[in-house]
Structure 1
Amino acid sequence: MAVDQPAAKNPCRYFIVIDDIWDTQTWDVIKCAFVDSHPESRLIITTRIVDVATKAGGIYHMQPLSDDYSKILFYTRTSGSEGPAEVTTKILKKCGGVPLAITTIASLLVGKHSEDWSKVYDAIGFGHADNGDVHNTRKILSFSYYDLSSNLKTCLLYLSVFPEDCLIDKISLIWRWVAEGFIPYREGMESFELGEIYFNTLVNKSMIRWIDPEDNDGRGGCRVHDMVLDLIRTISNEVNFVTVHDMEHHDTRPGGKSTNKVHRLAVHGKSGEHNYSIAMEHVRSFNVVECSANSIPLLLSFKVLHVLVIEDCVFSEGSCLEHLGKLLQLRYLGLVKTAVKIPEGIGHDLKFLEILDVRGGLISELPPSVGELMNLRCLWADNGTVMKGEIGKLTCLEELQLYSVEKCPNFFTEVRKLTKLRVLNIYFAEMEESAGKSLMESLCNLHNIHSLTVSTVLADDDSVVVNHSLEDMAPCTKLYRLVLPSIVIPRVPSWINQLSVPLLSRLLLHVDAVEVRDVQTIGRLPSLLELALWSKEENNISYTFGSNEFHKLRGLWTKKIEIAVGEGALPMLESLLYSASAERKDAASLVPWRRNSCPLLNYVSCYLDCTNSSYREVKEAKQALRQALLYNAVYPDIRKENYDEEAGKFIDNLEWILRGLDRPEDVGRSAAHQEERTRRMIRSLERRLRDAAEPRVGRYGQQEIRGLVAKFKSWLHDHAGTDQDEARKSDATDSEDDEDYYYDDATDQAEYRRSACSSQ
């Protein structure tokens, strides 16, 4: 019988919860005083600081409450009283699934009539209710704010210029900070890199919420929770940092500080005439969103403007921003999703301009003078906007995004002069092989590249094959993105390895010849999250992924490479696109992985190559592939290559007819009628084959159709199609029913299908 040891000899066991640890030093003290001396005990801490949580280990990231649980918590706090459903939905949306926000706002509604809920919602904010919960919420959030350095406080307050619930683009936000002068000079570090550190710090301290890009080419951004936005707008209003003109008054809420000396002005959704009583000569930053031209003051009224952002606004057709060239101190110009014409002389007037953002594709062209903006550090344009000037003088550029680069004069040779480029995203509609070679030579001169994308805006098949490799490129060790889907290079560059590009997280290459050692080298990249590796058809290889490589890979897209996944390989894989041949119909060949190998896999797409396959082989392979994918709990997405869908339907109908003709006596028609109709079908088939009008299925589709015609003929007493006189008599009739040559009418079709079913 077991006997318990004396209590004094048992180690002390505690279960303690500590809320809101604010720095790593505090955690070190707690760990030294408690954790190290009581190893059998358990300690749970809560913190808003990611660095603290990382050091403590075992992080649990709290997810926002679902809509259902938000309602349960909300109605529990309001003691079950309900207001208008529409108002409740708006309130919960404002809370964003944050329990503290839900209980705080719900506390304001306790004891109030349902008709007053709308008033409470309109007045939600730290300055509108003398309530203990509101005070506590503001106090908690204030701790986070006052824990920031002075530079971070400034960067956070600037977020009050954005509308509520706005998705804030990370890249443009950091460059706005730079243009405003919020990023100090630090030796050995570029201003954007320091701004990125600031951004990540705000994310780590839970002051802003990181939002992943919706697509692979997205840039990502952040959102500010309504209560954090309310806090920073309150503080910003008190110190006269930003004035938001989206209500009746100049300030963001009644009772705020009123002043005519405004430094940063934001206008959100005003549709009326401009009637601000604000002295524009002191405004350094003007941000306007979803407004009409009437609500924008004359640009001549600005004297010291550094940042001008006009986003999603409506101007009259072909209108020009008059007097834009008078803003001599302008550093940042954003004309996003706004159809205006940029003045021709902008490049001669705005000598200090550093950022030009015309994304949205509503500005048809950038005038040639843009090529004279020699202090420009960023130029972003979307599809629909053409650069008319040369880019060779823009030697300060750090980021460049352009479409239709083939229309930009001498672009493929001039881009080699932009040696400071960190980010280069260029797209073209067409490019000759010689131009592609010039581009590759230019790219090899850009040694500071962090992110490179070269792609066509057309289909993937329109790739440009170049004979110039990227061996001489030698990018910096900070390269994190290399996307070249539309340029076929001879082979994978040797500098793509864990020592030269340790931060590479996204790689997309179209290579003439892929070798096994190339994939092995890529598999050792420590940061790789997404890989797309396409090989040309005649250079296929087979590769089996092992458990000692690609440890972080989430997305894998291969083409013309036969792959297999070994036991324990690709543990983090979520998305897979691969190629398979319809000739190989066994499940092991069509599905190269098993569920226990890739436990997180939730999306699979297969390129089914039908080149050397008959219609029946394609059909069987699709069925086997679909069953195998469903067996592995993945919904199948099958994309056929080298396959003509119309030809497939044609042969499918022919097979129905053949099955019916096996027992023609079941149809109930005379033998002469059957024979005559079969003759017509054969003549029509032969005519299409003779004129090369009939589409093929794969490489041997035409041969299969000829085989079907021969099978028809073998069932006839007299070989049809050889009697030229009879063929000429019925040509007119054949042409009338050319599209439905294998059925006389709907009744015949039904009869043949019934006959086919009975014959099986």
Structure 2
Amino acid sequence: MEAAVATKLVGFSFQFIAGKLQKMLEEEAALLAGVKDDVRDIVAELRSIASFLATMSTRRNLDDQLQNWVQEVREVAYDAEDSIDEFLCRLRSTPYDECGVRCFFKHFLHYDECGVKAFFKHSLSCIKSLKARHGIASDLKKVKVQVEDIRKRHDRYSHSNEAFTSSSSDAATRSDMVFSDPRIISHFVEEAQLVGINESRDKIMGWVMDENRLELTVIALVGFGGLGKTTLAKTVYDDPVIVGGHFPCRAWITVSQNYNIRELLKKIIRQISVNEQQMDDELQLVQAVRGLLHGKRYLLVFDDVWRTEAWESLQIALPPDGEGSRVIVTTRNEEVANTSCSRNHQFIFKVSPLSSQLSWELFRRRVFEAPDYSCPPELENISADILQKCNGMPLAILTIGGLLASRPDKKLEEWKDFHGHLCLEMQTNDKLSKINQILILSYNDLPYHLKPCFLFLGIFPEDYEIRRKRLMRQWIAEGIVSGIDGFPAEKVAERCFNQLVSRSLVQPSQFDDSGTVKSCRVHDMMLDVILLISKKENFMMLMKEHPVIPQQHLKIRRLSWQKESSGLVPNTDLSHLRSFNAFVEEVPPKLFRKKRWLRVVDLEGCWYPKNFSKLFLLKYLSLRNMINLYELPESIGDLQNLEFLDIRGTCISELPNTIIKLQKLVYLLGSPQSLFVFPKGIRKLKRLVAFGMAYVENVQLLQEIGELIDLQKLGISLDISPLSFGILGKISALLSKLNGSLRSLKICHSVGYENLKKAFDEVAMPPLLLRKLLIDCKLCELPPWFASLNLVVKITLLNTRLQPEDIIVLRNLPALVNLKLGFQSFFTWDLAFHGVGFPRLKILAIEGYNVSFKEGAVRSLEIVKIDFPLESVDGIEHLHGLRVVHICTGNEDIIEKVKNIAANHPNRPKCFATKF
């Protein structure tokens, strides 16, 4: 299995490099004079090798020679990519003069005294260009030789053993599937160990036994591997009521990754019919199954379905009779769940990890003796540490607990040693290796392009909340994800992230206002699998408490510095580093010196190392939350390929003039707490998509921002000096110019002159595509075009001093999900919500007002946050969809009132009360 994983990953590397070279041929054809044929030859060889590796990746047992060859190929693939990137960097930084040497003589023969200086400058440039291109051609020749050597080295031994390897590997695979499938454990869990399953089982049983629902109903149980989906389905399938005859026809079919539709249909027939039917044609088998099930109430379980194609092939064999039949599907893939339950998504049941309390109960029942299953006091703390690693996964708890239970002496020191070496135990202990085998199945099922995306998650520490955008942007900067056929890289990255979520490989932790996953976590056990594969494939290196000693023949290309470590051993080669992420306070500056292949540097929350020189390929630089950072060096302008710069949460108040040299910059992000003054010339940054929060102190800067026609996210704070009157007059022109691109807008003004309302009223072509809007300045009244913001999902108003009737405008916005009404947002002390309106509003935050909700108001509201109410909060009991209520006040009577309402509310919403 490990060899197959290695082969797939290396195959992806070669596909990726071939694609990069092909793109270079298309985009840089004019600059590749003399080496185009070499590049084409390399592309052809790389694609051929990638195709071979794709074939080999389906085999689970590769001989030692082939495994060694795959490891060697992996390193050559990385080296080839480094050479290509350096080639591109040098090529683009040294423009090729097409007239070459002829230009040299032409200018030598045609110059006058005034042009002597220009002549020598041009001549020197020509010589440097020729020298650089000679070096480029030499490097490409070396890459070509390397790739050709790879093919020859394999050809020397592969052909003679290929037939034997194929047959023996296939036989081993079939044998492993029959005798070593670790999922079989789910079918034989003892009743005493079915902890925390009752509530879930009762809900599924209610769906299965609903006699008022006569149509065929599909129920999908979805979640990542090891959560107990199969166990849950088995408890329903074996329930005495069902076994007793409620469903005359029952069948349990395990589908798995390598399914055969004909064999699956035969299994159904064998379980529901006493007569063996000899047929092998798929159409005949489908007709036979439909005939046997027609007119009968049946219960079928399709366990472990990985692909929608498998479900669709099985679905056609199910007659949609009105007999109350049920089908249960277990899957790790949300797409399979959505497809199988396409008629009614209410029957999708997401299986979640066990709570800490239920995890402890399951662990006790697995490890300690009946009848009380008591844990010795001295083992309680170490048991909690072991359970934390299991993180609510029943399979891990049962497997690890079973191993501990099998040891006769339950000694504290022995358990501590086991916990300290748990990762190693999971790799080497046959009993525990079942956990990894279950999880690696999900990894193996990933297509080529998702494997490096998934392995990149190993960059982040255990139990770390990973922001979606942060992850996606690093994928893009590293080149792991790129645009496809005109489809932008950001959209491709978003699709890749959603596929990881859909396949239950990451756990969503936060959602944005539109329901999109905003951040995620990786289960501890899955993270161990990622790190295991990453280490074997040299995908990344992790530094924790101890110094890292890399293998001598491996080059470090991705480095994640976690916790306080004594660092790398002396003289460690970091010259090939392409990605660095730090999760510690301080990082040695030497890590960044002369690392010419670095694409990603993420120092969020660290102390600032001031040296970023010669990072010519750097695309992503995050200095977020560096509280000691007061300025950027002038040398920031040397990062010519920089696309993403994050200075949110810093103390930077002014950006250097050289910032305008970063003409590939796409994101320049600050925050309201870290406003920055921007120099003249921002109009040159034509690729900017996100800009702000910027401090606008003159009309010229506002006009330049208006020239950034691709700007989607803009945040500006307006000057309070007399010049601001002129600035405010240009606001309407700015919004009109950006009306077709803007999706997010923040405008702040600490004084809030009333003529901002006039500027808003005079917008000729308002930005009606806005999805997020924040206004922190005096308006007194909403402009008419606000009523046409049909796509806006989030609005924040502060110090706007609106009239009470303006609430009607907000109430009628059809897409509004999140509304925050801050201090002095309305020119009143009371806010009342009544009647129809706010059709999609789910989150409402209010600061500094008396609040009341009338019966029938804000029906979709789920989360209410009320800070510093003046005297009263009324009508919370009328919010029928309420799930969470936050209250912050110094009035104890209000706190007690809200708590009582929440306790007696039919939804039993969570209540968080804070007294200030």
1:265 matched to 2:545? The reply is no
Match of 1:448 in 2: 741
**Any unmatched runs of 5+ in structure 2?**
1-244, 250-292, 906-910
Following superposition, the deviation at residue 513 of structure 1 comes to 5.8
2 CA distance for matches of 1:24 and 1:570? 36
Q: Deviations over 1:275-319 (max 9, x none)?
A: 35433222222223315344x53533412221222333346xxx6
Alignment of 1:340-355 (within 5 A): 344-355=633-644
1:329 matched to 2:617? The reply is yes
Is the CA contact 1:209–1:223 (under 8 Å) kept in the aligned structure 2? yes
Match of 1:653 in 2: none
Amino acid of the residue matched to residue 292 of structure 1?
A: E
TM-score with structure 2 setting the length: 0.57
Identity %: 24
TM-score with structure 1 setting the length: 0.67
Is the CA contact 2:752–2:778 (under 8 Å) kept in the aligned structure 1? no
Q: 2:772 aligns with which of 459, 463, 481?
A: 481
Is the CA contact 1:488–1:512 (under 8 Å) kept in the aligned structure 2? yes
Which sits farther off after the overlay, 257-266 or 426-435? 426-435
Alignment of 1:719-738 (within 5 A): none
Match of 1:147 in 2: 445
Amino acid of the residue matched to residue 601 of structure 2?
A: L
* SS of 1:326 mapped into structure 2: coil
Alignment of 1:101-500 (within 5 A): 101-110=396-405, 111=407, 113-125=411-423, 128-212=426-510, 220-246=518-544, 248=546, 250=548, 259-272=553-566, 275-290=569-584, 292-294=586-588, 296-314=589-607, 320-321=610-611, 324-338=612-626, 339=628, 344-363=633-652, 365-382=654-671, 383-384=673-674, 386-390=676-680, 391-402=682-693, 405-406=695-696, 411-427=701-717, 430=720, 432=724, 434-446=726-738, 447-455=740-748, 465-469=756-760, 471-475=763-767, 477=769, 479-486=770-777, 488=779, 490-494=781-785, 496-497=787-788
Change (3 A) 1:539 1:300: closer
Q: 1:99 aligns with which of 381, 394, 398?
A: 394
Q: Which has the higher helix share?
A: 2
2 CA distance for matches of 1:607 and 1:87? 41
Is the CA contact 1:536–1:560 (under 8 Å) kept in the aligned structure 2? no
Following superposition, the deviation at residue 542 of structure 1 comes to 7.5
Change (3 A) 1:122 1:229: same
Q: 1:74 aligns with which of 349, 358, 363?
A: 363
1 CA distance for matches of 2:729 and 2:847? 25
Amino acid of the residue matched to residue 209 of structure 1?
A: Q
2 CA distance for matches of 1:308 and 1:636? 38
Following superposition, the deviation at residue 180 of structure 1 comes to 0.7
Larger Rg: 1
Q: 1:44 aligns with which of 301, 306, 328?
A: 328
Change (3 A) 1:134 1:144: same
Following superposition, the deviation at residue 448 of structure 1 comes to 1.3
Change (3 A) 1:47 1:375: same
2 CA distance for matches of 1:250 and 1:223? 25
Change (3 A) 1:373 1:269: same
Alignment of 1:555-704 (within 5 A): 555=844, 557=846, 565-567=854-856, 569-575=858-864, 593=875, 595-600=877-882, 602-603=884-885, 630=900
Following superposition, the deviation at residue 242 of structure 1 comes to 1.2
Change (3 A) 1:16 1:400: same
1 CA distance for matches of 2:397 and 2:319? 34
Which sits farther off after the overlay, 553-562 or 43-52? 553-562
1 CA distance for matches of 2:557 and 2:863? 48
Match of 2:136 in 1: none
2 CA distance for matches of 1:108 and 1:625? 50
* SS of 2:434 mapped into structure 1: helix
Following superposition, the deviation at residue 143 of structure 1 comes to 2.2
* SS of 2:597 mapped into structure 1: coil
Q: Deviations over 1:117-151 (max 9, x none)?
A: 22222222276444455333222222222222222
Following superposition, the deviation at residue 575 of structure 1 comes to 0.9
Change (3 A) 1:636 1:142: closer
1:508 matched to 2:760? The reply is no
1 CA distance for matches of 2:731 and 2:559? 43
* SS of 1:60 mapped into structure 2: strand
Following superposition, the deviation at residue 629 of structure 1 comes to 8.4
Tell me how many residue pairs correspond in the alignment: 599
* SS of 1:392 mapped into structure 2: helix
* SS of 1:603 mapped into structure 2: strand
Is the CA contact 2:594–2:615 (under 8 Å) kept in the aligned structure 1? no
Change (3 A) 1:91 1:191: same
1:525 matched to 2:790? The reply is no
Is the CA contact 2:508–2:517 (under 8 Å) kept in the aligned structure 1? no
Is the CA contact 1:545–1:563 (under 8 Å) kept in the aligned structure 2? no
Amino acid of the residue matched to residue 212 of structure 1?
A: Q
Following superposition, the deviation at residue 176 of structure 1 comes to 0.9
Change (3 A) 1:538 1:135: closer
Q: Deviations over 1:342-390 (max 9, x none)?
A: 6633243111111112333255653222233111111123424634534
Following superposition, the deviation at residue 193 of structure 1 comes to 2.4
2 CA distance for matches of 1:342 and 1:604? 38
* Larger RCO: 1 or 2 (CA < 8 Å, sep 6+): 2
Is the CA contact 2:331–2:337 (under 8 Å) kept in the aligned structure 1? yes
1 CA distance for matches of 2:894 and 2:509? 39
* SS of 2:338 mapped into structure 1: helix
